[in-house]
Amino acid sequence: MSADPIIFSAELVALLRRALKLVALTGAGVSQESGLRTFRDAQAGLWAQYKPEDLASPQAFQRDPKLVWDWYAWRREAVKGVRPNPGHYALVEMEKRIPGFTLITQNVDGLHRMAGSQNVLELHGNIQRVRCADCYTFAETWDDNTESVPECRECGGLLRPDVVWFGESLPRPQLEAAVEAARSCEVFFSIGTSGVVQPAASLAFAAHNRGAVIVEINAEPTPLTSKADHVFHGKSGEILPRLVEAVWG
């Protein structure tokens, strides 16, 4: 914990106390604070020779399904070693206190659900979920130690992670719900996201255009910073718990 006090304006505190609809959008920075490496950083060791598109695209899966399956099996293992951080838990606390709370995340690690967040829109999917590439049936169990990619019990198709790959569109129900939440919220938090990955980045601007108060928490400035009403540069795992304490403590 940094010793510097973080100043939250009386205006922001009052706004959050009475807020009925709030959106929090989270990105890679929130996962990194839990010690999880980013997509590119995760391409260490034997994975370093591959381009992201060679491991995370429908073409890659068609060309070499076992390679792609193994890459995700390896990433699932990495997630098992990490835990939600205080920022994840502060968002759970905010959800308990704000009636219309929507958490939108670009992260695929499932840490928000692990922390206890309920209303979560996973725009890019979740690597913990596995589904059939052909019929979309979800698999609860599978064997990671087989010579080939495990198959769907329903149709025999290959199983794949339930994530959005390069060249695939975002899940429509989640995206529509995210856009609707952004357009109708009073306060929009952009947390640990560079603000350049579309369409997630446009959500904050949609909220801003509809008059929502924009709060940004990120390590460094982003394209959103000049539009934000409240900007905090630092770790969400330090700033969010203090904000929750200041507002509801």
Q: Which stretch binds Zn ion (CB under 5 A): 92-100, 106-114, 126-134, 166-174?
A: 126-134
**36, 82 Cβ separation under 8 angstroms:** yes
Q: Which stretch binds Zn ion (CB under 5 A): 48-56, 81-89, 149-157, 215-223?
A: 149-157
Distance from C-alpha of 164 to C-alpha of 8, rounded to nearest angstrom? 36
Q: Which stretch binds Zn ion (CB under 5 A): 51-59, 106-114, 130-138, 233-241?
A: 130-138
Q: Which of 157, 177, 179, 225 binds Zn ion (CB under 5 A)?
A: 157
Complex with Zn ion: residue 58 or 157, whichever CB lies closer = 157
Give per-residue burial for 154-173: e unless 16+ CB within 10 Å, then b.
eeebbbbbbbbbeeeebbee
Q: Which of 29, 13, 35, 12 is nearest to 222 (CA)?
A: 29
| Using rule CB under 5 A, residue 149 touches Zn ion | no
* Alpha helices, H only, the chain: 10-18, 28-32, 52-55, 58-63, 65-80, 86-97, 111-115, 172-184, 200-209, 236-248
Least separation in angstroms between CB 106 and Zn ion: 27
User: Per-residue contact track with Zn ion, 46 to 85, x per CB under 5 A?
Assistant: ----------------------------------------
Least separation in angstroms between CB 137 and Zn ion: 5
Q: Which of 124, 208, 230, 233 is catalytic?
A: 124
**27, 192 Cβ separation under 8 angstroms:** yes
| Using rule CB under 5 A, residue 153 touches Zn ion | no
Distance from C-alpha of 31 to C-alpha of 91, rounded to nearest angstrom? 13
88 counts as catalytic: no
- # residues contacting Zn ion (CB under 5 A): 8
How large is the C-alpha radius of gyration of the chain? 19
User: In degrees rounded to 5, what are phi and psi of residue 176?
Assistant: -65, -40
Complex with Zn ion: residue 11 or 168, whichever CB lies closer = 168
Q: Which residues bind Zn ion (CB under 5 A)?
A: 132, 134-135, 137, 152, 154-155, 157
Catalytic residues: 124
